[in-house]
Amino acid sequence: MTSRITRLWQPGNPQNRVFFPDFWLRLVETPSVGYNRLPKNAAKFEIEPKMSRYDVQEYLEKIYKLPVREVRIRNEMGEITWNAPLDHEKRRALWKEEDRKFAFVFFPKNFEFYFPTIFTKDEFEDEVQKVQKFNADDRTNEKYVNRDRAGIGEFFGI
């Protein structure tokens, strides 16, 4: 809807309104230390590249009812994989990631936002423990039991 049909505005026209906006936003995490750390009254969003900073402000104010003070935009070009990265003259691009647009949204001073902890348990660690437990089991018997019965093993009884 929004991103596909643009309407011109001339002085005297009523306000251009969009009734079914199809802009998307996604909240993105930021480091909690370092120069990329954001203050607690700020959040970083990845936005559809066709949005402007005023679109983002309107969006958050009207749809999410958030008190937005300021929005700053940053465009990041997608990474390109080259067939010969070091040969600047004759390299060819094989693949390019999509360009992304980020919005740094600043709220009033008394606003507090902390990105929640989504991942508490480490599934990788659980799986490693499972494999270790499996390996720790004694499986010597499996090879010797029913050894004259062509590899049946322990499943079928003696």
Partner 1 sequence: MQSFRHLSRTIPKTIFRFQSTIPSATTTTQKDKDLTDTTIDANKSLSDLKPGGPLSEFFDAEENFGTSELRPKQRPGRSWTTEELRLKSNTDLHKLWYVLLKEKNMLLTMEHAYKIRHKMFPNPERLDRVHESMQNLEEVVHERNDAILRLETGDSATPPERTVTSFAGFTYKKQAAEHYLPFEVTGEKEYEVPYLDEEPYLTQKLWVEKQHLKKYHADDQKRYRERFANDDSSRYLRGSRKVFNRVEHLPK
Of 12, 14, 20, 85, the one binding partner 1 (CB under 8 A) is: 20
Task: Find out whether 59 and 79 touch, Cβ atoms under 8 Å.
Answer: no
CA distance linking residue 141 with residue 60, whole number of Å: 65
Locate 128 and state its tokens: 């490693």
Q: What are the backbone angles phi and psi of residue 156, rounded to the nearest 5°?
A: -80, 135
24 binds partner 1 (CB under 8 A): yes
Q: How far is the CB of 2 from partner 1 (least distance, A)?
A: 11
Residues numbered 59 to 118 that lie near partner 1 (CB under 8 A) are 63-64, 66, 79, 111-118
Q: 56: how many CB neighbours lie within 10 A of its CB?
A: 23
- The piece of 20-28, 84-92, 132-140, 145-153 that touches partner 1 (CB under 8 A) is 20-28
Give the total of residues touching partner 1 (CB under 8 A).
44
- The piece of 32-40, 80-88, 130-138, 149-157 that touches partner 1 (CB under 8 A) is 32-40
**Considering beta carbons, is residue 65 or 90 the nearer one to partner 1?**
65
Residue 1: partners with Cβ closer than 8 Å, 6 or more residues away: 18, 19, 20, 21, 22
